[in-house]
Structure 1
Amino acid sequence: MKKQIHKSIMLLALFSAGFAFAQSQVLEGRVLDEKDNTPIEGVKVKVNDQEVTTDISGNYSLSLPPGTNYVITVTSNGYNRKEISEVVIKSDTNTHLDIVLDKPVSTKEKQIEGVVIKSNARKETIASTIGLQRNSGVVSQVIGVEAIKRSPDRNTGEVLKRVSGVSLFDGKYIVVRGLSDRYNQAMLNGIQLSSTEPDRKTFSFDLFPANVIETLVINKTFIPEYSGEWGGGLIQVNTKDIPNKNFFNVQLGVGGNSITMGQEFKMQKGGKWDFLGIDDGSRKLPEGMPAKNAFSLLSEADKTEFGKNTLKTWAITPTVFLRM
């Protein structure tokens, strides 16, 4: 019995020693940039079938059995791939190994003399139109596409009526500084426009939709580079460039009258289509109703009978007005 106990103790001691010898040790370290020794985050460190990723401080850690030579593979975006062979794991303590990565030649920093960035200035913004108006050598007012988009105006005439000193009449002709429309001159993209009316010198500004305009320039004093055939104002209409792609605009509008909408009125009960301005037959004349001349020749009794059959409902009911 004692011999069996001794044998069991010896086997247990040998098993424990073998287990202690076979347990893993830690390989740890940091991955650094070759240029400035800064830690690199997100680097993949792979040994056999184990793979870890470095943290924000460039640290990595792997558990490996000692007594074997390992090959470490290190990869990261923007850096050269690196392999480290003959890495021996210590059996009595952790193994520390720092890894340095370098960048490819094509991605290393290069000295350049300068960078030239070219772009076209946006002339349709509110800031650009204010600057154009301020730097102009004449008295003028400029309206850009941003200001036009914020208004409900549909054509050029409706846009121009918002300019100080400009009035619109007949929905298309303009008066500048109180002078008649024949004293004005219109230009489209730098080209002088002829009169749209055969009997007088004027221009109909409702021809151009508001959504095709880039800028409107209203000059109120003479300009040396343009003709002096006007005394009221020179209106320059500048349209947008040809778009790069097709576009389709849809505009919806809703209006209301605060004086009448939601108020109570006395109304006669009509047909079901009255809100569309369509009679559903409730007001139609009775059958056999004579014409005006024939009706005047009828007797008073016949006229009264026709009147009774004309409209059955005479009641007045209170109604809340909900129309826009």
Structure 2
Amino acid sequence: MKYTTTLLSTFVLLLFSSFFNPIFAQNASMQGVVVDGSGEGLIGAYVYVDGTSYNAVTDIDGKYSITGIAVGTYNFTISYVGYDDMVVPITFSEGEKKEKTFTLNFSGVVLGTVEVTAQLKGQMSSINDQLNSNMIKNVVSAERIQELPDANVAETMSRLPGVSVQRVGGEGNKVVVRGLAPKYTKVMIEGVSVASSGADRSTDVSTISPYALDGIELMKAITADQDANFVGGSINFKLRSAKSGLHGSVIAQGGYNGLSNSLSDYLFVGSASNRFFSDKLGLYLQGNIENRNRSSNDQGASYDIRELSGGVREIHTTTLKLSDIYRKVARQGGTVVLDYKYSKNGTIFFKNFYSRGNTKLNRYNEYYDLSNSSRDHNYETRKEEYDTRSYSNILSLEHRAGKWLIESNLSNSSSTRDVPVNFGFVFAQKNAVDAEVLNMILPPTDLVKFTNVNDTITYLETIDEISGITKETQQALTLDLKYDYSISPKIGGFLKFGGKFKYKKRGYDKTQYTGRLRLNSGQNAKDAILKAYPEMQDIVPLGTTSLPFALFADTEFDHGNFLDNEYTLGAVGESDLLENVIEIIKSNVQEAEFQTYGLHDYYSRREDYSGNEKLFAGYAMTELNFG
């Protein structure tokens, strides 16, 4: 059994390096690869000699390396969940360097003449990776990702213990680890931080295609060689790379949305890879395009708890909000991975990832407000668009020189979230809810029975328009050096030290216009609207101080079976018409009528920021293994 202790101590590192160096120089070493029957490398396989510190865990390509082996003959065990263990006696002479390839045979459950595999091969890799990790870690393999056609990687992550997701339109977009807000979860691609896209510094992962990934790692503990800027957990997305030979795949999916009765959902994914120049140079290409209808019917309510005599409490409904949301999501993405094996001990990688997600919404809200004496019924029409773009470029080096492993990364990443359109119109009817309801205990479903909605006395109340952009860019350079040592056959480990430099720039700029077109405000703008649409003057004349909802309503709009016909919704504002109305108002508001429609300086500036940070960091650590 192996006992591992991690000590963050430069002193111990230097002491071991200097004192035991003469011992190291005479020892032998062994490296190679662990493969299955098809010749494919097995990630997370454990190569060890029982009762000693001679051990290694294979990397993503199935490679291992063990140094500091004393002269003698040892029985090496190669273990991998789902495969039969292999025990191989190997003799080492002084300073000998061996290369060994171990081929493991798959084990299954045998029922008569029928063999049933116990686990998928890909998931076995994940299980082995978790078992042999020295930290709290969960892994999802590429095969597992492909087996479950989740909409995006957030949905895939939700299958892991301790993980949940925040959803929009029934689809996950941000990951929650240990119940903490998404901003406390660090997201990485190939160990490089992804620039965050949210105003709260969280990262939207819904734009990341699961088909470009070779695996997902979730780490819930930290070691000295990791960034210390997460509390919940750290997610690392591993990109695919080229395997030997020409490979290609095409995935096509279509879907039907019952809520909107449409067949507009589709997904196309294509990939190709090959290796050239005697497998030294690898090229992997992947692209995806997706369109989803994520419309939804939502209901929300708020309540007031009233304290009565005798400790009695009554719960009263104060607001009811019904939302019919038409949401269309379009995504595109691509991955280009180049790797060059310049020697059997070294590889250079150049990995590039791009993703874009565009969401367009028409949001039709209808709500009842009992929180004030006017007992309002409101129609609200909103039109919104959100565009998120991100990319990462990673140049990395992996090189083994004897007992040394050298790893270095140079990376650049950027994320932008643009809100080009987000406006809303509110139309209000006063005293639409019976006064007796104020003292009644009613569930939200019964509240609508005590209303008298009349569109002819519903008037344009307020307007708002919001635009904004969040952008973050970061560049980083890292260097990690690892030295394997063996003090004796029963005591060994590694020394590891390194450093990092990172420069990050981040900013958020928001602009908000607001307006009130109530009685005695914005008359010039109101008349301009009526002049632009002469047919409106058949309903109200020029000089009208309140514009009725009927001027802007689409009375033939079909809400379908909204919440299974539990509620009945009324007309909606025509979003395209209202978008034109905003431009008319902007052109006809007098300078003195800024309250009618104008820039809200406070709302526009209070959340704006721009800044940068420079990070210099270093670490030193050692791990001791007692056999």
TM over 0.5: no
Larger Rg: 1
Structure with more of its chain in helix, by fraction? 1
Q: With CA pairs under 8 Å and 6+ residues apart, which has the higher RCO, 1 or 2? A: 2
